[in-house]
Amino acid sequence: MLEEVEGAPIRVGERKLVPVVRVTRRVRRRALVGSDRVAAQGQGFVHLRPVAIVERSAAGERRIPIHDRTTQMLSGLLLAAFIIPLLLGVAVRLARGRT
């Protein structure tokens, strides 16, 4: 289950900051009743990722996004790790085509 929720505002001086968080949660519960056995199990997973902060002041309302730079950089490096070997493979084909 994925949803974006606004949290309780944080007041700093005259400014009010409202956090916006993307919540991902998955909960599973299971119970088993048999003739000679009773069992129950459950698993839960929750991920809270801040996505923005809404600043409300006398000047108005402003939404400021929060970016995960580390994940963006790691994703870029992973993408390069896939693309560069493909480009080198194309270079090999072109080189063999000329000979």
Partner 1 sequence: MRIADWSAEGREVMGTDIQRVLDQFEDLRKKADVRSCFGKPVAAEGHTVIPVAAVTYAFGLGITEAEPAGEETGATAQAAETEAEVEVTEEVEEGLGGGGGMLVRPLAVIELTPEGTLVKPIVDEQKVTLAGALLIGWIALCLARTLVRIFGPGQVRGKPGETP
Please count the residues of this chain forming the interface with partner 1, following the rule CB under 8 A: 58
Distance between CA atoms of residues 95 and 48, nearest Å? 50
Q: Is 92 in the site for partner 1 (CB under 8 A)?
A: yes
3-state secondary structure of 13: coil
Q: Using CB under 8 A as the criterion, what x/- string covers residues 26-65 for binding partner 1?
A: -xxx-x---xxxxxxxxxxxxxxxx--x-x------x-xx
Q: Is 13 in the site for partner 1 (CB under 8 A)?
A: yes
Q: Are strands 15-33 and 2-6 parallel, antiparallel or unpaired?
A: antiparallel
Planar angle of CA 85, 90, 96, nearest 5 degrees = 125
Q: How far is the CB of 32 from partner 1 (least distance, A)?
A: 8
- The correct pick among 58, 60, 95, 97 for binding partner 1 (CB under 8 A) is 95
Q: How far is the CB of 79 from partner 1 (least distance, A)?
A: 10
Torsional sign, CA 44, 49, 50, 51: negative
